[in-house]
Amino acid sequence: MKLNENYKKLEDSYLFSTISRKVGEYGEKNPDAKIIRLGIGDVTLPLAPAVVKAMQDALCEMSVQESFHGYGPEQGYAFLKNEIQKYYARRDTQLEADEIFISDGAKSDLGNILDLFDADNTVLIPDPVYPVYVDTNTMAGRNIVFMDANEENGFLPLPDENIDADIIYLCSPNNPTGAVYNREGLKAWVDYANRKNAIILFDAAYECFIVERDLPRSIYEIEGAKTCAIEFCSLSKTAGFTGTRCGYTVVPFALERNGMSLHKMWLRRQTTKFNGVPYVVQRGAAAVFTEEGQEQIQQTLAYYKENAKVLAKTLDELGIWYTGGKNSPYLWLKCPNNMNSWTFFDYLLENAHVVGTPGAGFGKNGDKFFRLTAFGDKEKTIEAAERIKTLLSK
């Protein structure tokens, strides 16, 4: 019997587990410290009333034999897929309903999608990056090549024709940097992928935070994307589903390689390994895309966007360089006084009792940078901003 020794190549603990441990230890030693957390990207506002009502109604259905639902379709109920299809159509992006697969979140599918690809593929991943992209491929033993995202390119790297890649990860708005690709940037990646016969795994989990109309919210807004890209999206940040778990993945019919349809492969994989998202949750998710649901959710998003403005204003006043904030819930700032990110983490925790995320946890290019999130409580965010301003103005 042999174990998967690729696990030896992983860090001992996940980034946010390390942060939680360090904050817990500090809290035990300093019980009077009023710690404000602007680190992990978890939402703080409750589900929209329209979503709650839809889930309550669905739960009542489950209590009656005539309307009870058992196993559902692994790829998702048609009522939810149709709502998502219309959501894209409102932005002039046409999808077939059956190209949409309902999941329990983008994180799961970003790992599970790798079942479709041979281990002997080269993966191109930006640095800094959401750790899941790296860890899931490390577990599978794939060759990973990193592209430099840095201050000079605004943390939005473009293709390098000298690099041959089979699988490409893009995230826009980006986690952790908050940077957003424009149409020209995404078109360059789509053209590159089609030339190289590569496939883009496009993480659009934060698309709802884009406020500038000329910035693409889906890679399928770009001509040629349906022959080279799979898109992942989540309701976690869009509608506060971090504790409810629902998302979706789009695999176009036109996406084929070596005479094989990736759509058919993903359908086969899901029907074999996944039992689907609960009916009650999918009813709640469908309510997200209704006129009433969208109106309520925009109010919630406005709350987080206002938090981002507060943090951005503070950084502007301090003269600190950053990306994100305007079209993203994340602000990616350059650590002051040339501190490395873990040193700044400790400095901020000990002197302002504010928790952020060290950029080094996202890759070597993040070592001098730091992530703040706008998902916190409004009053606490304002208080944290004041503490940061007071500390760094000294």
- Paired residues of 202 in beta bridges: 170, 231
Could you please report the per-residue DSSP string of 261-307?
EHHHHHHHHHHHH-----HHHHHHHHHHTSHHHHHHHHHHHHHHHHH
pLDDT tens column, 167-197: 999 999 999 999 999 999 999 999 999 999 9
Q: What is the mean pLDDT of residues 13-36?
A: 89
The answer to whether 150 and 129 are in contact (CB under 8 A) is: no
pLDDT tier at 13 (50, 70, 90 boundaries)?
low
Q: Percentage of the chain surpassing pLDDT 90?
A: 96
State the pLDDT at residue 295.
Answer: 98
First to last CA, the chain: 60
What average pLDDT does the structure give for the chain?
A: 96
Q: Which residues contact 308 (CB under 8 A, 6 or more apart)?
A: 324, 325, 326, 328, 329, 331, 374
The answer to whether 331 and 370 are in contact (CB under 8 A) is: no
Strands of the 143-148 sheet, one edge to the other: 100-103, 247-250, 229-234, 199-203, 167-171, 122-127, 143-148
Query: What's the maximum distance between 2 C-alpha atoms anywhere in the chain?
Result: 68
pLDDT tens column, 327-349: 999 999 999 999 999 999 999 99
Q: What is the mean pLDDT of residues 51-57?
A: 98
State the pLDDT at residue 40.
Answer: 78
Q: What is the mean pLDDT of residues 237-252?
A: 96
Q: What is the mean pLDDT of residues 116-136?
A: 96
Q: What is the mean pLDDT of residues 278-299?
A: 98
State the pLDDT at residue 12.
Answer: 73
178 residue type, one letter: G
394: closest CA among 333, 347, 345?
347
Nearest 5 degrees, angle CA 378-CA 39-CA 244?
75
Residue 139 in this model has a pLDDT that exceeds 80: yes
Domain ranges of the chain: 5-47+293-392, 50-290
State the pLDDT at residue 11.
Answer: 82
Burial class (CB in 10 A: 0-12, 13-18, 19+), 213: exposed
State the pLDDT at residue 180.
Answer: 98
Four-point Cα dihedral 246, 378, 209, 276, nearest 10: 0
Query: In the numeric block, which tokens belong to residue 343?
Result: 């040193």
5-47+293-392 and 50-290 have identical folds:
no
pLDDT tens column, 63-116: 999 999 999 999 999 999 999 999 999 999 999 999 999 999 999 999 999 999
Tallying the residues shown for the chain, one arrives at 394
Q: What is the mean pLDDT of residues 237-246?
A: 95
State the pLDDT at residue 274.
Answer: 96
Q: What is the mean pLDDT of residues 38-63?
A: 95
pLDDT tens column, 343-368: 999 999 999 999 999 999 999 999 99
Better pLDDT: 17 or 62: 62
Could you please report the per-residue DSSP string of 102-138?
EES-HHHHHHHGGGGS-SS-EEEEEES--HHHHHHHH
Q: What is the mean pLDDT of residues 41-66?
A: 96
Report residue 347: phi and psi, to 5°: -60, -45
Q: What is the mean pLDDT of residues 126-150?
A: 96
pLDDT tier at 203 (50, 70, 90 boundaries)?
very high
Considering only the top CATH level, what class is 50-290? alpha beta
Burial class (CB in 10 A: 0-12, 13-18, 19+), 237: buried
Q: What is the mean pLDDT of residues 312-335?
A: 97
Q: What's the CA gap between 180 and 164, in Å, rounded?
A: 24
252: closest CA among 216, 215, 218?
218
377 residue type, one letter: D
Question: What kind of architecture, by CATH, is found in domain 5-47+293-392?
Answer: Alpha-Beta Complex (3.90)
